[in-house]
Amino acid sequence: MTTFVDRITLFASAGNGGDGCVSVKREKFKPLGGPDGGNGGRGGDITLVVDPNITTLLDYHHSPHRKATSGRAGYGDRKDGPSGDDLILKVPNGTVVLDKDGNQIADLVGNGTVFIAAQGGRGGLGNLALASSKRRAPGFALLGEPGEERALILELKSVADIALVGYPSAGKSSLIAAISAARPKIADYPFTTLVPNLGVVQAGETRFTVADVPGLIPGASQGKGLGLEFLRHVERCVALVHVLDCGTLETDRNPIQDLEIIESELAQYGGLEDRPRIIALNKIDLPDGAAMADMVSQELRDRGYEVYPVSAASRQGLTELTYAMARLIQKSRAEAAVEERTRIVLRPVAVDDSGFTVTPNADGSFTVAGAKIERWVRQTNFKNAEAIGYLADRMAQLGVEKELFKKGAVAGSEVRVGKGDDAVVFDWEPTIEAGAELLGARGDDTRFDSLWRGREIHHDQLSEEELARQWEFSVPDPHTPAIVAEVINDVEDVAEDAAEAVEELTEELTK
């Protein structure tokens, strides 16, 4: 059974946002107490977190589809719906996140590093939050947004300081077992190691990790043996140790030739040229092994390598080898100390999404595209005329209508928001002042209070105090329209200011 998987595709579906609620407060003697529909809850995110206890992506190989719970719809009586739970997926240190086209999105190194793989949908605002002085009792609420759905490739690139490379049966796993507490499988047949092993080594003051990778053979770059696939686990290492087998019984092999073959395979893989290399001549406990090591050491030193004759079996030379490794690590850590890695929360999408584009199409229609606008469309319940009117207002406020005018749209033009099959198609009915004047057309949106309407509303709402003032001005009938208009003018200013403030706040909340 496989217990190690280092590349999987994860299908992450974040939770949907709950819908906002439309509700009107009802009390005894006060049947219309104002809107009190709460907001929908946020959908849960799917978050990847580096956990030191996880060493494989096996779990995700078995169950690659992961879903966070959705937010619940809002309730009446000002109660918001509960949010969905975030789903936290533990991944090994060194997990690389790629999109489905293979572009790297994140590299998760360091315990506790967090990556939001899929963002939960926002909850829709309830009619309470949508109420303003202009829109006192909205008969609509915003829909919750669908959660993000992403297919991500997770690839594990082990985080080891030193990598052991060499032929099968050269003794790489034996070396790891001899210098660390790791207990990898060791046997005298090739390809004993099928997945990388990691061990922690302490040499003097320095502590570092060593990994071996499955053995390489000539033609590995063409897929012979286990191929070069596992060299991914070597990519992050600081230095390579060539483990050369001095005791092999194969007569057509010798350590120098082995080294050259492994080097040419590494070159095929690419990207490891700058890593310092040292050489371990293994199996010097065997008489033939010791003789062979003696024979080739000088030649290898002449080629510029540090050479360490060792035996994983008798532990000869291991201290010298591990201290040599430690020196390389210290040197690289001293250099790296300057560019300290920080843990960051990586977000899948850019934060600024307020831009939009308006493009005229060949068939006379117009396409409006932009993250924010497309989100607004998703939040809109198209069965509710008021909700559609609200969407139109928001778009006008963002300047979409102006832009449509500039690009030559007229009343009745087809406007598509979004691209492809998901696009929502409107017959455009301009609501902005300029457009309305130009075309003499205006939507039947009731929130566009005409002056007359506005006055009527205020008329209905005269407070006790206002009535008293009219009494003071000795108005015979407190409801005389002329006077009402005068009195109301300043009330209207106040209301307008308040409306603006509420509008701004609503904007802020829906962002």
The interface partner of residue 168, options being Mg ion, ligand GTP, none and the CB cut-off 5 to 8 Å by kind, is: ligand GTP
Q: Does 190 bind ligand GTP (CB under 6 A)?
A: yes
Rounded to the nearest whole angstrom, what is the least distance from the CB of residue 265 to ligand GTP in the complex? 13
x/- contact string, 203-232, with ligand GTP (CB under 6 A)? Answer: ---------x-xx-----------------
Residue 12 contacts residue 238 (beta carbons within 8 Å): no
Q: Of the candidates 208, 281, 275, which has an alpha carbon nearest to the alpha carbon of residue 242?
A: 281
x/- contact string, 381-420, with ligand GTP (CB under 6 A)? Answer: ----------------------------------------
String of b and e for 237-262 (b: at least 16 CB within 10 Å)?
Answer: bbbbbbbbbbbbeeeeebbeebbebb
- d(CA 511, CA 508) in angstroms, rounded, equals 5
Rounded to the nearest whole angstrom, what is the least distance from the CB of residue 172 to Mg ion in the complex? 5
The DSSP secondary structure of 87-153, one letter per residue, reads EEEEE-TTEEEE-TTS-EEEEE-STT-EEEEEPPPPPPPPHHHH--SSSSS-S--PPPPPPPEEEEE
Question: Which of the residues 138 through 177 are near Mg ion (CB under 5 A)?
Answer: 173
x/- contact string, 173-212, with Mg ion (CB under 5 A)? Answer: x------------------xx-------------------
The interface partner of residue 282, options being ligand GTP, Mg ion, none and the CB cut-off 5 to 8 Å by kind, is: ligand GTP
CB nearer to ligand GTP: give 311 or 380.
Answer: 311
- Quickly count: other Cβ atoms within 10 Å of residue 192's Cβ: 17
The interface partner of residue 145, options being ligand GTP, Mg ion, none and the CB cut-off 5 to 8 Å by kind, is: none
- Give Cα 291 to chain centroid, integer Å: 57
CB nearer to ligand GTP: give 212 or 386.
Answer: 212
DSSP code of 46?
Answer: E
Residue 431 contacts residue 401 (beta carbons within 8 Å): yes
Residue 314 contacts residue 175 (beta carbons within 8 Å): no
- Residue whose entry in the numeric block shows the structure tokens 């001293």: 334
- d(CA 285, CA 174) in angstroms, rounded, equals 13
Question: Which of the residues 309 through 348 are near ligand GTP (CB under 6 A)?
Answer: 311-313
Kindly state the tokens that stand for 205: 């003051």
The interface partner of residue 255, options being ligand GTP, Mg ion, none and the CB cut-off 5 to 8 Å by kind, is: none
Q: Does 174 bind ligand GTP (CB under 6 A)?
A: yes
Gyration radius of the chain's alpha carbons: 35
Return the SS3 of 477: coil
CB nearer to ligand GTP: give 137 or 186.
Answer: 186
CB nearer to ligand GTP: give 165 or 392.
Answer: 165
Stretch that binds ligand GTP, among 27-35, 54-62, 189-197, 328-336 (CB under 6 A): 189-197
- d(CA 322, CA 425) in angstroms, rounded, equals 69
Q: Does 384 bind Mg ion (CB under 5 A)?
A: no
The interface partner of residue 191, options being Mg ion, ligand GTP, none and the CB cut-off 5 to 8 Å by kind, is: ligand GTP
Question: Which of the residues 278 through 307 are near ligand GTP (CB under 6 A)?
Answer: 282-283, 285-286
> Which residues lie near ligand GTP (CB under 6 A)?
166, 168-174, 186-188, 190-193, 212, 214-215, 247, 282-283, 285-286, 311-313
> Which residues lie near Mg ion (CB under 5 A)?
173, 192-193
